[in-house]
Amino acid sequence: MPDTAPAALHHLTIAEAARLIAARKLSPVELTRAFLTRIEAVDPQLNAYLLVTAEQALDQARQAESDIMAGDHRGPLHGIPYALKDIYCTAGIRTTGHSRSAQDFVPTEDADTVARLKAAGAVLLGKLATHEFAHGGPSFDLPWPPARNPWDRDRFTGGSSSGSGAAVAAGLAMGALGSDTGGSIRNPAALCGLVGLKPTYGLISRRGIWTNSFSFDHAGPMTWTVEDCALILRSLAGHDPLDPASAARPVPDYLAALTGDIRGLRIGLLRHQFEVEVPVPPVVREAMEAALDVLRGLGAEVEEVRIRPAQDYADVKIIGAESELYAVHEAGLRANPGVFGEDFLGRSLAAVLIRAEDYVNSQRERRTMVAEVKPLWARYDALITAGPGPAPLLDAWRTIQFWQKASLTTPFNVLGGPALAQCIGFSAEGLPLSMQVIGRPFADATVLRIADAYERATPWRGRRPALDEAASFSTALPPVPEPTPAAIPAAERDGIALVARRAGLTLDERQFELLCAAAPYVRAMAGRLRTPRGFAGDTSNVFRFTGYRGI
């Protein structure tokens, strides 16, 4: 194939590159080389990659080119370079979860998602930074440094799909896969100016992906455009009988949904979330008002609606998800807590204070929340709210913030339907601002349709972060902040120590302070979930038989 060789191959969208490859005007090999060259030049400033699989990528690109030249063109992802958050298992390629405890782990099988992308002919460039086991904030005490934001390298990328956000924004991958348990696709998409989709729970298999929370994990794409997001989703969606949560439903043509026409669609605005419960800066509010004007100008009907307060959803998600995370990592935490980073410990250790009844209460309350929102889906095609941003400074993060603040993204993990983050402008400092589009379960196509129409009507996809490939940049990390001693009575500290010992945990003084700091928040969350319930008022939790005739 001839090489088009423009200076900005790394800024082509997937759709643009796919059309050139299909027309034999662009070589997958040259495209892959362009990205590998870009990674070598720019990634030392960003730390997006934990591992670059250059040799395998070029082999896959050569095979893709050979197949296409022989007439075996598999579709729009054939020959497209992409990267993976390093929680996706890759056969024969190290998969670490960005954790010291798994830094030498090499899987023998691919995740279902990886296998689907291989079958589509996509080219894997490497494995991307995350937060430890897809949990926590930026950590400065792990074997690899945290990823930096391409729009300002002193700022946070968002988490936990931090490397995925940085890589796509900086032109180090055409697309990436992330995961979203409480916002971990949408947060970095928002702070890095991308499109990030948390698909409907069960739409994409999670088999072969490091588990954060069985109940709340979603795998999904992160791309520069909505069209690219739809292209990847079309390849990933589908039933996996080996994932118990996988939905056996027909997969629609997500690309066909991108008509640009949203006339008559009814959209509910969750203004209370971003103005009262999780207040966003004035610049985000202004950008949201401008985005609403665009949607109305495109013919959508927008009116304000309300759902539960964001803190209610945070209570359910955190009590449930931290319990499940602890169950996954209990053996490692008991054997050697010091092998984990402090940010991970500052969240996960507190699960020893969550009682079985608290976990069950969270699951039961979640079912109530999902049922409460059903009437909204009879009236509205989608909901919208603000996303996070602008990006904070990287060294401003403190673990305790996880426990102190509700989130704009977490409610939609609890509700389980699709939620997409996209750019709606920039701050005066040039930092991306964002909006979320939320849909009813399995209405992913409608969410993409609305986001695509907005994207077409606005100029934001024409702006990329300015990165000088020749620039030198200090990646010195700040010291790990000391945990703030928890102001709790001595008797309560003794009780916490007893619970930790009974759980088989051997904690040093610093680790114990992390546990104590979280304790008041765990107690408050669990207490809010202890509402009176009748004996016969709730006939199930989350378990049900599937696959049986008549069920």
User: Helices 28-42 and 14-22: crossing angle, nearest 10°?
Assistant: 150
Measured at the CA of 226, the angle between CA 222 and CA 232, to 5 degrees, comes to 55
Exactly one of 85, 127, 198, 317 is catalytic; which is it?
Answer: 85
Query: Under DSSP, is residue 51 helix (H, G, I), strand (E, B) or coil?
Result: strand
- What number of H helices and E strands is found in the chain? 17, 11
184 catalytically annotated: yes
Pairing of strands 266-269, 49-52: unpaired
Burial 537-550 (b: 16+ CB within 10 A, else e): eeeeeeeeeeeeee
213 catalytically annotated: no
235 catalytically annotated: no
The runs of H, that is alpha helices, within 146-185 are: 162-169
State how far the alpha carbon of 257 is from the alpha carbons of 15, 148, 247, 424, 445, in Å. 15, 34, 21, 21, 6
Query: For residue 160, is the peptide bond before it cis, meaning its omega torsion is within 30 degrees of 0?
Result: yes
Q: Cα–Cα distance between 90 and 114 in angstroms, integer?
A: 7
Pairing of strands 301-304, 266-269: parallel
Q: Cα–Cα distance between 506 and 68 in angstroms, integer?
A: 57
Exactly one of 160, 179, 215, 362 is catalytic; which is it?
Answer: 160
Exactly one of 184, 205, 215, 323 is catalytic; which is it?
Answer: 184
Q: Cα–Cα distance between 188 and 185 in angstroms, integer?
A: 6
The secondary structure of 122-154 as a DSSP string is -EEEEEE--SGGG-SS--SSSSSPPP-BTTBTT
Phi-psi region of 261 (alpha: psi -120 to 50; beta: other; left: phi over 0): beta
Contacting residues for 64 by C-beta, under 8 A, at least 6 apart: 28, 78, 79, 121, 123
Residues acting as catalytic residues: 85, 160, 184
